[in-house]
Structure 1
Amino acid sequence: MERIRHWLLPVLLTALQLAYWPGRALREDDPAVGAVQSAAALAAAAALTAGLAVRRRRPVAAALTVEAVLLACLPLPQDATLVHALGVLIALYSVAVRCPGRTVAVVGPVLALCEAGRSVLVLDSGTEAAGEAVVNCVLFLTVVGLGRSRRRWLAGRRSAARELARAESERARAALTERERLARELHDVSAHHLTSVVVTADAALRLGDRKPELTAQALEFAADTGRETTAALHRLVALMRTSAADEESPLGERVAELSAGFARLGLRPGVHVAPEAAPLTGPTAEAAFAIVREALTNALRYAPGSTVRIHVLSKAADGTVDVTVEDDGAAGGVPGGVPAARQRLGGGRGTVGMRERATALGGTFTAGPRTDGAGWAVHAHLPGATRAQRQRAVGHRALRGLDLSDGAVALAVATLPVFAVVVEEPTAAALACGPAVAHALPLLWRRRAPWAVLCAVLATAWLAPLGLAFGLLSPDVALCLATAGAVAECVAVYAVGAFAGPARGTWPVMAVAAAGLCLSFLALAVADGMTQLEEDGGVGLLLFLNVIVGAAFLPPMAAFWGLGAAVRSRRERVRAWEDHALTATVWSAVAEAHEERRRIAVELRGQVLRHADAVVARAEAGDLSGVAAEARAGLAAMRELLAALREVTAPGDTEAARAATTERKTSPQGALT
């Protein structure tokens, strides 16, 4: 299909040219067409077709090839390249779409100079050659403007596709990342505890006859370790209760809710979220929240009962976020707690995860003991505005957002009236440049302020009547400016339909533009002296002509508005689909991460916590064999859950994880080995 798209237009263009010449001449038995000329025409058609076929991959080479073919066809009759001349415009359009602006600025003038040289060699009159050169320049500028607009559209689609691909990648990694994080937590919090209970109980059972005191110590150790394991698992389950919807909430609300949850677990957090940072959402806010959550988890594990200060600041200028979490060290006495050395069983993965989140956004992260007292401090600096956004902020406000396509369209529209004046009255060309440029200049901002541009274009349309009224312009020059300048109104109407808003709110522009043009032409007629026909009903005639001219202007204005509205509708459909796909992907990532937490929390409550509670109960009852059996069963359930998390190879495949867990539960090989 792609190859067909490359060759279809060049083949069609060549077929039309060959059917016109030499096909028509051969059918009419034109003696001027010989075998040599026919062969040359076929060779030129083949070369031009091959050149245009590579316009998407090598646009500059295609444009130069087409121009070289046209120059080589100069000895042939003028009809031999009549249709082929369109190939230059097609190739230039491809250059404008697929090449940088600097390349377009070089290739465009080169093609224009070559075309001007062809005009001088083909045409007999210098005036005709100059006129054709001006027409070619206008056509080239128009094509360049259309091509740059298409390039901007394609760049936006590629950017949206990259954003969607990034979101898809994040979605694919969301559940996997959550599984890895939770697996580390489960291993650090519980696996060591339950393993030590099994080892201690087995040793006491083997040596109980020779060292009876080991039994009492093992029972006490099992009770303490079981309580610690139960408390740690309850804390982990509480952290996994965050709903999927909460992850789309503002940063300030989420941090406040998180700190309240940790306060119920024994910490004493103090939260300060700056007003600029409170409403933040998106990747930066998500990273800041994750760092706060991980820092509080570490404080709860290593310094239970401590006071924790959380500061989240943001700079409105660039959107950066600074996160600081400090604790004052482990509490001296925590009811039901364990010694500090026992609290520090983590593997240091939490700090690594926080650093990875910060560096993934281009930020910085530091963690270590506080220099101003006891405790631990975590600080992260997360950038907000991207480099592209900062670059867009550079430059004058009025020139922001303009590119080559805007200038090309405005210059082409300004050239048309000047060309019309050159044809009609060459000596007045310099005088016509001012009104023509002033009339087309507002089109530079047609995307940003289409209604204001339309009003400015309609207002500057009165420059021709005013110039005629004050004797600065002749009637012929003023009429040329007004007639050819109507293209500016058409472009402005298209801009209103394409950029001003929904069609239901912009349709009056057709009547507004038609009425504005009628009034300007009426003023031109008045300045030309038509009001002297009062004895023949001149005023009534003018009103009648106004209605007729307005009715004549209305269909083309409706056509341009309809084209703009159709383009806007298509653009909105494409962007709506992109936004929907991106939102769905992001929400899917949030939901999958939440599903992992929910599923693992259910498994913990249903299996591991039950065995951990049973370990405490057996220890308090003095049943050392039961302690060993329950600890072994809890450790087996924990290992089953960890194995299910690690065996899922497809990121985000929560169903596979659930199936793996179920299979291990029902399999006789699911016991501890």
Structure 2
Amino acid sequence: MPLILGCCLAALVTVTALYTLALYGTAETAAMGAVAATLAVAVTVGVMNGSVRDAAGFGTLAAGGAASVWSLGRSHRRRRAGRAALAAYRAASATVPRFAATTERDRLAAELHDVAAHRLTGIAVASAAALRLADPAMAAEATAHAAEAGRLAVAELDRLARVDRRGETTLADIDALVDGRPGVGYRRTAVSAPPKTAALAFRVVRESLTNAMRYATGAAVRVLVEEDAGRLTVTVTDEGGPAAVEGLGAGTGLASLGGAVRAVGGTLEAGPDGDGWTVRAALPLPSQTMNPARPRRTASWRGAAALDWALVVLAVALPAGLGLLATEVPQPFTAPAPGASLLVLLVLHALPLRGRRLAPKVSLAVAQGTLLVWLACDASGLTAPHSAQLVLECWWVELTLLYTVGAYGSRGWPAPLAVAGLGAFPLVSGMTGPPLAVWATLSLGLAVPTGLAWAAGLLVGGRRRRRSRAAALDRDRLDRRVAEAARAERSRIAAGLRRTAGARARAVVEAAESGRLDLVLAEARAGLTALRELLDELRGGSDPADDTPPPVVAGIAALAARRGAVVEHEGRRRPLPATVEVAAYRLAEVLLADGGTVTVTYLDDGLALSGPGEARRVRAMADAAGGTVTETKDGVRVWLPEVFPA
């Protein structure tokens, strides 16, 4: 009796330890614990009993039990992580629209400075020069330029208030920009660049030319755009000169531009160069030869497949272990050849459990086909006599597959009847009476559990689909709120533009059309002042609460900006499940802790994040989300499956 109590206590302690390890540890750590427990059972039985067969039997049963405990702990770990992520997402859902409004405000502020200020500065510089020289021809030219540039400024201000984002920019846009500036020396050797890089290079050239007009009137300006060592280099140099008109600049252009350049991993240098001024930007280009380490993009036994693999182990270990320990007929493993044949059949019968979620009906058909082969082998003597009776010990495999057909497949009502009928065949030989009547009776009896398993799958599958539809509706509502918040912010800024800079730009056009160059200069300067005040209001009017990034993929860029780091996005952006969004944000928090560059890549089967850091710091977080971690020479690369393990 004390021995039995001691064994029970040891088993309880072992099960608790394995479950705790699977709940709080990574998949590898928990798996090693399960293997260690299995070996400990086998060795203990072998030492105490001295029988290799008993040691193998108890060890096999222990392997099945350990796999079950491991999968239950892993499932609890994934559900807990999923619930925590979903709770964080729902708690932050109210901040996502505010964050979208802040992002839209910052975007419009940058475009206002780059576009409207550029036009109005050109008008003011040309008008001031013509008035100072009192040259009628130059005054006429400046008036015509003011009318044309003023109309463009009005159109661009209207576009900013109406359109979410501009089209893709190419390096040819820089050609067109410089062509409108006679006297600017220009050379471009770079052939092409990605749209984001080309747009940033365009901003560098435009801001530099605007500053040259303001502070070095009439000076020679040279623009060079070239590709060098995997970077697009933009250099703008002027030879210096007098300022055209005092007080035109807002004083934030280069600072804002520098932030945008650093955000993509580039550098911006600006400073005196002899008597003039030089601006040089180096923007990274995607490498044509670099082949970064691909993340392991298969959750395998880490994700939802962990339970399926555990079921496979249990489906083999339970009948095999009981067969090894059997002392009465049938004794399926008494001879090597029949025992090996039976073991192969057990494995083939269990393997469909691994693919049950992907192909429920096919998995059930394969398991049933294996059962038919098993019956044929039993009848022909390829396995030990009456070994087919072991079907009862692993018939739960069929019930599990029937449940999956209901949950993931379709309303295939014949499946429960077919499984019941085939499962009755091995039992007929042990019964008395007409075989057909016995088979029919047994089939009807087995149809009860098969029907219940299939019905349970239908209920659970229906509930899961309803939850998925509800989550999709919630996401759709949130997306509409985000779009509405951005639209409302854009409308608010548009109203301010029409009252201030827009009104001044229209006044410039009216003054130019009436030939009043002095009024053109006054209105252009007033427009720049109004624009500067509006930009100050936009940049300084953010509520700190609105600037807190929500725990979603869209918030990673703001998080990086706060920490002086860089985030790059690759692939086509698309909505992701809430749990994946939160998991990606939490991982980015760790990867961005030390600065550097983090790349977020949208894959066809999930999301990948790569950046500096140690694998041990992110392995547990990725593991809880069913993802994988791959070490690279520059850090780590994490893959998160789009279907969060449930």
Q: TM-score, normalised by structure 2?
A: 0.57
Aligned-partner Cα distance in 2 for 1:557–1:162: 35
1:647 is aligned to 2:540: yes
Match of 1:661 in 2: none
Match of 1:180 in 2: 109
Helix, strand or coil at the partner of 2:332: helix
Moved more, 214-223 or 406-415: 214-223
**Deviation, structure 1 residue 296:** 11
1:243 is aligned to 2:163: yes
Match of 2:512 in 1: 616
- 8 Å contact 2:117–2:531 — kept in the other structure? no
Q: Deviations over 1:255-286 (max 9, x none)?
A: 599x99x99xx99xxxxxxxxx9xxxxxx98x
> Equivalent residues in 2 for 1:142-221 (5 A)?
142-151=68-77, 168=96, 171=100, 174-185=103-114, 188-189=117-118, 192=121
- 8 Å contact 1:354–1:365 — kept in the other structure? no
**Deviation, structure 1 residue 483:** 0.7
Specify the code of the residue in structure 1 equivalent to 2:324. V
Aligned-partner Cα distance in 2 for 1:325–1:583: 38
1:491 is aligned to 2:400: yes
Match of 1:459 in 2: 369
Q: Deviations over 1:399-429 (max 9, x none)?
A: 9999654433211111122233234457423
Specify the code of the residue in structure 2 equivalent to 1:554. G
> Equivalent residues in 2 for 1:311-350 (5 A)?
none
Match of 1:112 in 2: 38
Specify the code of the residue in structure 2 equivalent to 1:78. L
1:100 is aligned to 2:26: yes
- 8 Å contact 1:410–1:440 — kept in the other structure? yes
Aligned-partner Cα distance in 2 for 1:410–1:387: 37
Aligned-partner Cα distance in 1 for 2:84–2:477: 14
Match of 1:411 in 2: 313
1:548–1:538 CA distance, 2 compared to 1 (3 A): same
1:542 is aligned to 2:439: yes
1:85–1:525 CA distance, 2 compared to 1 (3 A): closer
**Deviation, structure 1 residue 649:** 2.7
Aligned-partner Cα distance in 2 for 1:598–1:170: 19
Q: Deviations over 1:330-379 (max 9, x none)?
A: xxxxxxxxxxx99xx996689757745654xxxx8999xxxxxxxx9999
1:595–1:158 CA distance, 2 compared to 1 (3 A): farther
Aligned-partner Cα distance in 2 for 1:324–1:455: 59
Moved more, 189-198 or 483-492: 189-198
- 8 Å contact 2:262–2:268 — kept in the other structure? no
Specify the code of the residue in structure 1 equivalent to 2:421. C
Identical counterparts, % of pairs: 22
- 8 Å contact 1:462–1:520 — kept in the other structure? no
Q: Deviations over 1:165-207 (max 9, x none)?
A: 8995973652243143134226742564576699889x98xxx
Moved more, 575-584 or 118-127: 118-127
Specify the code of the residue in structure 2 equivalent to 1:178. R
**Deviation, structure 1 residue 81:** 5.5
- 8 Å contact 1:116–1:133 — kept in the other structure? yes
Match of 1:521 in 2: 424
Match of 1:28 in 2: none
Helix, strand or coil at the partner of 1:521: helix
Q: Deviations over 1:539-571 (max 9, x none)?
A: 23433332233234322443355445545655x
* Structure with the larger strand share: 2
1:459–1:600 CA distance, 2 compared to 1 (3 A): farther
Specify the code of the residue in structure 1 equivalent to 2:22. A
- 8 Å contact 1:171–1:585 — kept in the other structure? no
Aligned-partner Cα distance in 2 for 1:149–1:243: 46
Match of 1:32 in 2: none
Specify the code of the residue in structure 2 equivalent to 1:616. A
1:575–1:138 CA distance, 2 compared to 1 (3 A): farther
* Structure with the larger helix share: 1
Specify the code of the residue in structure 2 equivalent to 1:576. A
Match of 1:274 in 2: none
Specify the code of the residue in structure 1 equivalent to 2:320. V
- 8 Å contact 1:421–1:477 — kept in the other structure? no
Aligned-partner Cα distance in 1 for 2:255–2:376: 78
Match of 2:346 in 1: 436
1:649–1:591 CA distance, 2 compared to 1 (3 A): same
- Higher relative contact order structure (alpha carbons within 8 Å, sequence separation ≥ 6): 2
Q: What RMSD in Å do the two structures reach over aligned CA positions? A: 6.3
- 8 Å contact 1:608–1:638 — kept in the other structure? no
Aligned-partner Cα distance in 1 for 2:197–2:125: 36
- 8 Å contact 1:171–1:652 — kept in the other structure? no
1:616–1:560 CA distance, 2 compared to 1 (3 A): closer
- 8 Å contact 2:27–2:302 — kept in the other structure? no
Q: Deviations over 1:6-62 (max 9, x none)?
A: xxxxxxxxxxxxxxxxxxxxxxxxxxxxxxxxxxxxxxxxxxxxxxxxxxxxxxxxx
1:78–1:417 CA distance, 2 compared to 1 (3 A): same
Aligned-partner Cα distance in 1 for 2:314–2:350: 9
Say which one has the larger Rg. 1
1:401–1:110 CA distance, 2 compared to 1 (3 A): closer
**Deviation, structure 1 residue 479:** 0.8
Aligned-partner Cα distance in 2 for 1:652–1:612: 39
1:463–1:80 CA distance, 2 compared to 1 (3 A): closer
**Deviation, structure 1 residue 486:** 1.0
Moved more, 149-158 or 644-653: 149-158
1:89 is aligned to 2:15: yes
- 8 Å contact 1:197–1:222 — kept in the other structure? yes
> Equivalent residues in 2 for 1:26-425 (5 A)?
78=5, 85-86=11-12, 88-114=14-40, 133-151=59-77, 168=96, 171=100, 174-185=103-114, 188-189=117-118, 192=121, 223=143, 226-227=146-147, 230-237=150-157, 239-240=159-160, 242-244=162-164, 254-255=167-168, 287=196, 355=261, 358-359=264-265, 381=285, 390-392=294-296, 405-425=307-327
Helix, strand or coil at the partner of 1:462: helix
Specify the code of the residue in structure 1 equivalent to 2:34. G
Specify the code of the residue in structure 1 equivalent to 2:38. A
**Deviation, structure 1 residue 103:** 1.0
The number of aligned residues is 495
Helix, strand or coil at the partner of 2:163: coil
Specify the code of the residue in structure 1 equivalent to 2:533. E
Aligned-partner Cα distance in 2 for 1:299–1:636: 20
Match of 2:380 in 1: 470
- 8 Å contact 1:358–1:382 — kept in the other structure? no
Q: Which runs of 5+ in 1 are unaligned?
A: 1-73, 205-212, 248-253, 268-276, 278-283, 303-321, 327-340, 368-375, 501-505, 655-673
Helix, strand or coil at the partner of 1:650: coil
Specify the code of the residue in structure 1 equivalent to 2:295. Q
Match of 1:512 in 2: 415
1:400–1:556 CA distance, 2 compared to 1 (3 A): closer
Helix, strand or coil at the partner of 1:240: helix
Q: TM-score, normalised by structure 1?
A: 0.55
Helix, strand or coil at the partner of 1:391: coil
**Deviation, structure 1 residue 611:** 3.3
- 8 Å contact 1:498–1:564 — kept in the other structure? yes
Q: Which runs of 5+ in 2 are unaligned?
A: 181-192, 212-229, 235-243, 270-279, 334-338, 548-646
Specify the code of the residue in structure 2 equivalent to 1:521. A
